[in-house]
Structure 1
Amino acid sequence: MLKSFVIEALAASLFSCGVLADGNGLIGWGITMYDPPCAFACRGVISKCTLLCTPINGTVNHGTSHHPVSTPPECFTTDVAFMRTMALCINTYCPTNGAPSLSKIEDYWYGHLGTGTVGNYKWVPSLSYIEALQGAKEDELNGVEFPNTTSTSVDEHAGHNMLRARVLRRHENNSNLPTIKSKQPLNVTSVISASDWRSQYNGMVTFETNEKGHSTYTIILTLVALLLPVALSLLRFVPGLARSKGWSYLNSVLNYPAVWGSSHREPVAMIAGGGLTPTRGQALYITLISILNIVFLAAPYIYLYPQSIFGSRDEQNISVMGCRAGVLAVGNMVAMFVFSSRNNLLLYITDWSHSTFLLLHRWLGYWTIIQTVLHSILLLVYYVQFGDYAAELASLYWIWGIVATVAAVAIWVFSLLIVRQKAYEFFYITHIILIVLFLVGYYYHIWYRYTYNWGYEIWAFIAIGIWGKDRILRAGQMIYHGWRTAKITSVEGSNGEYIRIDIDGVHAEGVVYLCFPTLALNFWQTHPFSITSSFARHGPACSESMAKSTVQDSEKQAEAEITVASPNQSDVASTSSSSRPHGVITRASIVVRTRSGITSRLAEKLAKAGTELRLPILIEGPFHSSVSSQLSQCTTVVGLAGGVGITGVLPYLNQFGSPRNGRLYWGMRDSSLKNALATELADLPSSIQVETAIGSRLDVESIIREELASRNSGGLIGIVVCGPAGFADEVRRQATDLTKRGATTAPYILIDEAFSW
């Protein structure tokens, strides 16, 4: 399971070292880079030495983009001098540096001698390790002679003068063999100096250890982001905890209030693009994720010097931190995609709302963007100072990294609250396009740099899988519910401010999304609607047209009416949805306030059509809501509604009922909504008391004080609020402030039933 959590940064480039990997999964989690490192270090010293079979003036690169090698793999596996030199080096340094078994050495010999990087058994050495080692020992004992070569070959391999090598090198390595240096011609069995080998060994061990850290810390970050909501939600199963007054006080201090000020639902700082202030509970989660992002980016790292990969600590810091930022970016990305999913499994496991997950989705998105930009900037600095920036700039992997980085930054710009509220359709389409560009850019950034050798692509596959799965499920839900027809009418007496949408043949609970494919050019868009109540009446087996006619004839009867409306009163309403069994008549009704976007289009089209408008719709959902489960442990429920927000409270009051008590406080500007929902109000259980205020504001402070003090029956009280942002924030502020001041005595839970983009 852990292998499926991993990623690498999008943006500019990854790391300067071009080595690849063995295994499946992530580096350190199924993939090894240098195993055994003592053998890889031997080959690292002489990988760029020209052999007798190396093509003269060859143009084909058999290595990586950052570590080109002109010698083809089959040359390494047939050149006797190279194989004997390798065997002698392995035998010299491996026994005291990890002491790998003979079987591991032989596996390396047959899988890596030709490639030097990721294992490939295609190129089988002409000598076994034991044969090469025996030959090297004989050469060390008897000395070596240079092969007879043509003048061209002699020129190509100039520098290995046999006599001078024996005289000058014997004192250095106490051997009859010459000492080989990187990039020198290698045409006889040679020894590798301890300093050269140690430099390679330190570089490889350091690099792989830090790469393992990239994987490990990103997995930790992803798991914490995904599993922390599950762990925290388990507190609801602690016996008696929710009904404890101390727990209510703790929530009033650390969970429910806005992290600063008194606005949670109301946007702040609109001049800068706007945003929603998290609650203190949400802020604790955001703070933990932020700390992990910072700490894991800053440390820990391992440093070993001297080494062959980095010339200085500054060079290493810039490169390795740039890579770490890239991997952490996609760790945040995976959790971000999970939280944005409408079919998010965490909605069913936890008692957290979809609005909370969407808010946290945005904060995970911020960290994805921050780490992506840091990845790009740090690697840019690295290649400008220590690499070949001009060459990198022309590379396809670099270009696709730029695409991903630009898309990530653009996602933030076009997702500002002011854009979402003022131009939702623009936000919606640009969000999808930029997400696709981000994923495509990231995938090709990895592909052109590493193909599938290091496992970085796994993170992209996870994100694409989550995103694709959600959309497949959503499409399947639409197909399941089928093509339906919505009847749109104006709420009488509202002067077009409120409209009603009736849908026959659907029945469900929770939240659904509606699509109006013929309403506008952006036919693919869906809009959220929370379900107020469900209607399903058994009747005689009849055709769909007969059932529809029967429902229309009994439209004014209580059992035939279900009203639903948007929790946030802005382009959202609610509806029920599921299939209509044979012989069962179902209907859902929606009441929504006309604002900008989809509701304004519906109102305009209704005005042109006259008294009634019929449009085809597709239904997506229903989606889970945690409100009912949270209220199940309450002995009393208090609903506070403002305007059309009544439809976000009614369904829970309907479900509550006798023998438990409930009260509804509803404030509205005029009586049109009250008249339109008279049947729904009359259908409330007899144990639910209703108080309305027409043309005046509810006295929230008095209501909260009375409900949490004088009317306290000793049980847990559930406060459900739905209405304008300012109204909901006022309920939150009064409940928490009164509890913190000790002015209330009852334990309570606060539920803000709202949908916020």
Structure 2
Amino acid sequence: MTKLGPVLAAGLLHAAAVLADGTGFIGYGKTLYHPTCAFACRGVVRNCKLSCTPEAGAVNHGTAHNPVSTPPDCFVRDAAFLRTMALCIDNYCPVSDKPSLDLIEDYWASHLGTGTLGNYAYVPALSYGEALAAARADEKKAFDELGGNRDHSGHGDDHHGHHKRRHLARRGTGFVITPSGPNVTSALPHIKARQPLNHTSFILPQDWQVQYSGMYDFEYNEVGHSTYTLVVFFVAVFLPIPLSLVRFVPGVSQSKAWSAIQSALIHPPAFGTHHRAPLAKVVGVMPTRGQALYIALISLLNLLFLLAPYVHHHPQGTFGSVAEQSLSIIGNRAGVMAMGNIAAAFLFAARNNPLLLLADWTHATYLLLHRWLAYWAVFLAALHSVMLLDYYKRYGDYAAELARDYWVWGIVATVAACAIVPASLLAVRQRFYEVFLVGHVALAVLFLVAYYYHIWYCYTHNWGYEIWTYICGGLWGAERLLRLARIGRRGWRAAEVTVVPGTEGEYLVIEVAGRRPLPDDAGGVAYLSFPTLGWRLWESHPFSVGFVGGASAAGPATGSSEDSEGREAPEAGGAKEKAAAVVETTAASRNATVFLARVRDGMTARLAAKAAAAADGVLRLGVLVEGPYEHSGSAASDLSRCDEIVALAGGVGVTGVLSYLRALKRPAKLFWSLRQEGLATALGPALEQLKKVNPEVEIETSVGQRLDVEGILYRALTADAAEKDKPVGIVVCGPPEMADLVRKKVVQLARSGMVSRTYVFVDEAFAW
């Protein structure tokens, strides 16, 4: 359900009026009350009935929360109002904000008609100087009529016919009256809120102060909302960059102290011994300690900024008590801060996340952090709704709010945000991945649309809250455009899909040919989409790029195999579509990339069924290739500083390390564990080609046996480490349990004191 009316109206609003309050977030290009002293003057008299105020005040010229019955053009032409405002500004601004004359005149030209929102379309009948001179003349006349020896207010007299001024005392960060009040006097009649304003009047200091305190507090706290939301956003987004620069410090990779720090604070799971293997198989993954430190920092910032700092001055004209003010302010801050977390979460979920180039964190890490940022965003959005609901039930008109459009769209946004959490649980992703994917995107888009209209119906585009929608929508849209560009670069290509004989239908060979194959040294992940496979045209699934260039028209080399898990998602051991392998077969067909995929539910199951049903056992169809993506951060760069690579692989996870072993061309040992010989036969040509590219690679294959992980790592880090100054690269790619065991043993050896060599640890994994 989308309405175009608000969008068109917003465009007309910006085209027809020039706003005097700036653009951007409040406090960062946008102002609320500038100068506050002048706004406080108008706050006292905005609801006073003027001579031109319509008798039937059914039309609201203010906001829903601050209604005004007098139209803007009445304010700017009413002489009594203009003179009263000029006198008030001259009385109180010099002793409070001390604005420049230019700022006062800009306020006069843009805000007298509308109040809070500036608009130069309403031109005052008198300039500020003219109105002030007239007001002073009226004041002198009133003084003379009283005999020149006393003022009408009883606050003392000024024998020069002008008021006395005294600086207001400070309390905290705002200006407040001293107990006796400032010595500001006038012979003019006093005016208070909601009283008729028919002639030049004097606004009492205490009335002005009440308005000033409320406006000062409100804007100060609103600026805080913007500030702390931006801090959370920028810290979340940019913190990985300086943390990643440590690797460029000379000698750090050879430093045993750095290896010790990594073994204690970076690589181990935050608790227990499992990182890639899901907790209780369906709960989720345990962050590493490095990831947990980042999550703890972001959580601490969210919590601290949610609770403080705020300013409170009472009495004031906006809130009746500290409790009322706190409920509103904290609730509003929660809503604003939710968007800062959401914007960072949108960026972290992107395949084309630029931080993958600027920092050395992996895509799997960013996806894990994406979820934690989303948790905070959902919590804050729900808290915003709950606290504002409580506020209006206690201090407002809840029934009236409930009927307003902004409230309805706020409910939609909150429900959509909260629904994302159960719909994204690991158990759902494993069992219903395609449903999860569509639902996740739909709920995220629904949230953004609902948030936009929530803001529009409450504030239109006046105060910059909608900018977060533009940031999130811009990130999402740019990400999709980059995906299309990557697909367009490869173009439409032909694919041949075959079930590998002797594997009981467990593996598929997908040969992708075309005029623009992936580069020969490609690594990382490519996403394949088969638009003609079914009606779900949006589906694309990742396959790790292990090898490029080689299958014959006759089909792949065959052999029976039954792999364990392959290159698994770290949090989804039973997920439907896994990162897969690329293998070379016996023939040498150029301009082709061959993917060996393990059959799961979903897309690979449909491909296998159609291939098995084909007359010649080969399914021919079109494919779109997106990628390749380097989702492993700077793993290749980090490993290039090592003088030796030790790789441990399980099942088709061997292809996750092939690109490293090909590209680095240095002494390496590959330990590969698999359940049956058939997989080794199918991948044999790829390994032979690796030996040609890098003759210094030693390959040890264990069929039907587990690797001696502890012995391999002990030799790499201790026994074989004599007189070797550079670090050893340790790469693991395989089932989650195997990866967690390697991580555990590396950390244990490093912290045992037996390690005599530094290391670089890479857990090559793809996350959903």
Please give the TM-score of this superposition, normalised by the length of structure 2: 0.87
Q: Does 1:488 pair with 2:502?
A: no
Contact 1:256–1:732 (8 Å) recurs in 2: yes
In the alignment, the residues of structure 2 paired with residue 710 and residue 679 of structure 1 have an alpha-carbon distance, to the nearest angstrom, of 32
The DSSP-based 3-state class of the residue aligned with 2:512 is strand
| 2:216 alignment partner in structure 1 | 205
The CA deviation at 1:585 is: 3.6
Q: Does 1:683 pair with 2:689?
A: yes
Contact 1:297–1:325 (8 Å) recurs in 2: yes
Q: Does 1:750 pair with 2:761?
A: yes
The CA deviation at 1:144 is: 11
Contact 2:217–2:313 (8 Å) recurs in 1: yes
What is the CA deviation profile of residues 291-314 of structure 1, one whole-angstrom value per residue up to 9, with x for unaligned ones? 000011011111122211111111
Please give the TM-score of this superposition, normalised by the length of structure 1: 0.88
Number of matched residues?
690
1:505-524 equivalent positions in 2, closer than 5 A: 505=514, 506-508=517-519, 509=522, 510-524=524-538
Q: Does 1:589 pair with 2:594?
A: yes
The one-letter code sitting in structure 2 at the alignment partner of 1:293 is N
Residue 217 (structure 1) aligned to one of 225, 228, 239: 228
In the alignment, the residues of structure 2 paired with residue 304 and residue 41 of structure 1 have an alpha-carbon distance, to the nearest angstrom, of 14
Segments of structure 2 that go 5 or more residues without pairing to the other structure are 1-18, 157-183, 559-564, 584-588
1:622-641 equivalent positions in 2, closer than 5 A: 622-625=628-631, 626=633, 627-641=635-649
Q: Does 1:112 pair with 2:111?
A: yes
Distance 1:258 1:752, change over 3 A: same
The CA deviation at 1:413 is: 1.0
The CA deviation at 1:513 is: 0.7
Residue 195 (structure 2) aligned to one of 154, 160, 184: 184
| 1:445 alignment partner in structure 2 | 454
Residue 623 (structure 2) aligned to one of 617, 625, 631: 617
Contact 1:144–1:188 (8 Å) recurs in 2: no
Contact 1:669–1:696 (8 Å) recurs in 2: yes
In the alignment, the residues of structure 2 paired with residue 74 and residue 35 of structure 1 have an alpha-carbon distance, to the nearest angstrom, of 21
In the alignment, the residues of structure 2 paired with residue 529 and residue 686 of structure 1 have an alpha-carbon distance, to the nearest angstrom, of 27
Residue 530 (structure 1) aligned to one of 533, 544, 547: 544
What is the CA deviation profile of residues 665-701 of structure 1, one whole-angstrom value per residue up to 9, with x for unaligned ones? 1111101110001111112222111111111111211
| 2:440 alignment partner in structure 1 | 431
The CA deviation at 1:196 is: 0.5
What is the CA deviation profile of residues 334-356 of structure 1, one whole-angstrom value per residue up to 9, with x for unaligned ones? 11111111111100111111111
The DSSP-based 3-state class of the residue aligned with 1:552 is coil
| 2:253 alignment partner in structure 1 | 242
In the alignment, the residues of structure 2 paired with residue 554 and residue 514 of structure 1 have an alpha-carbon distance, to the nearest angstrom, of 20
The one-letter code sitting in structure 2 at the alignment partner of 1:677 is L
The DSSP-based 3-state class of the residue aligned with 1:235 is helix
Contact 2:495–2:510 (8 Å) recurs in 1: yes
In the alignment, the residues of structure 1 paired with residue 193 and residue 435 of structure 2 have an alpha-carbon distance, to the nearest angstrom, of 58
The DSSP-based 3-state class of the residue aligned with 1:572 is coil
The CA deviation at 1:653 is: 1.3
The one-letter code sitting in structure 2 at the alignment partner of 1:193 is L
The one-letter code sitting in structure 2 at the alignment partner of 1:675 is T
Contact 1:230–1:350 (8 Å) recurs in 2: yes
| 2:668 alignment partner in structure 1 | 662
| 1:15 alignment partner in structure 2 | none
| 1:543 alignment partner in structure 2 | none
Residue 387 (structure 2) aligned to one of 378, 403, 410: 378
| 2:76 alignment partner in structure 1 | 77
In the alignment, the residues of structure 2 paired with residue 88 and residue 654 of structure 1 have an alpha-carbon distance, to the nearest angstrom, of 81
Contact 1:170–1:177 (8 Å) recurs in 2: no
Distance 1:576 1:606, change over 3 A: closer
What is the CA deviation profile of residues 71-109 of structure 1, one whole-angstrom value per residue up to 9, with x for unaligned ones? 000100111111111111111111111222222111111
The CA deviation at 1:418 is: 0.6
1:95-110 equivalent positions in 2, closer than 5 A: 95-110=94-109
What is the CA deviation profile of residues 466-508 of structure 1, one whole-angstrom value per residue up to 9, with x for unaligned ones? 0000001111222221111221112232111111111112213
| 2:712 alignment partner in structure 1 | 703
Segments of structure 1 that go 5 or more residues without pairing to the other structure are 1-19, 146-161, 537-547, 558-563, 578-583
Q: Does 1:732 pair with 2:737?
A: no
1:458-497 equivalent positions in 2, closer than 5 A: 458-497=467-506
Residue 604 (structure 2) aligned to one of 599, 614, 632: 599
Distance 1:491 1:586, change over 3 A: same
In the alignment, the residues of structure 1 paired with residue 151 and residue 198 of structure 2 have an alpha-carbon distance, to the nearest angstrom, of 18
RCO higher in structure (CA 8 A, sep ≥6): 1
What is the CA deviation profile of residues 116-149 of structure 1, one whole-angstrom value per residue up to 9, with x for unaligned ones? 111111111111111111221222222399xxxx
| 2:14 alignment partner in structure 1 | none
The CA deviation at 1:566 is: 4.7
The one-letter code sitting in structure 2 at the alignment partner of 1:703 is I
The DSSP-based 3-state class of the residue aligned with 1:591 is strand
What is the CA deviation profile of residues 307-330 of structure 1, one whole-angstrom value per residue up to 9, with x for unaligned ones? 111111111111111111111111
1:305-316 equivalent positions in 2, closer than 5 A: 305-316=314-325
In the alignment, the residues of structure 2 paired with residue 681 and residue 99 of structure 1 have an alpha-carbon distance, to the nearest angstrom, of 78
In the alignment, the residues of structure 2 paired with residue 556 and residue 728 of structure 1 have an alpha-carbon distance, to the nearest angstrom, of 29
The CA deviation at 1:169 is: 4.5
| 2:553 alignment partner in structure 1 | 552
In the alignment, the residues of structure 2 paired with residue 607 and residue 553 of structure 1 have an alpha-carbon distance, to the nearest angstrom, of 16
In the alignment, the residues of structure 2 paired with residue 296 and residue 376 of structure 1 have an alpha-carbon distance, to the nearest angstrom, of 18
Q: Percent identity?
A: 52
The DSSP-based 3-state class of the residue aligned with 2:77 is coil
In the alignment, the residues of structure 1 paired with residue 303 and residue 84 of structure 2 have an alpha-carbon distance, to the nearest angstrom, of 46
In the alignment, the residues of structure 2 paired with residue 132 and residue 702 of structure 1 have an alpha-carbon distance, to the nearest angstrom, of 91
The CA deviation at 1:529 is: 1.4
What is the CA deviation profile of residues 690-724 of structure 1, one whole-angstrom value per residue up to 9, with x for unaligned ones? 11111111121111112211122332111111111
Contact 1:61–1:68 (8 Å) recurs in 2: yes
Q: Which stretch of the first structure deviates more once superposed, 416-425 or 680-689?
A: 680-689
Q: Does 1:328 pair with 2:337?
A: yes
Q: Aligned Cα RMSD in Å?
A: 2.3
What is the CA deviation profile of residues 603-650 of structure 1, one whole-angstrom value per residue up to 9, with x for unaligned ones? 222222252212211111121243322211111111111111111112
In the alignment, the residues of structure 1 paired with residue 457 and residue 448 of structure 2 have an alpha-carbon distance, to the nearest angstrom, of 14
The one-letter code sitting in structure 1 at the alignment partner of 2:253 is A
| 1:407 alignment partner in structure 2 | 416
In the alignment, the residues of structure 2 paired with residue 668 and residue 109 of structure 1 have an alpha-carbon distance, to the nearest angstrom, of 80
The CA deviation at 1:554 is: 10
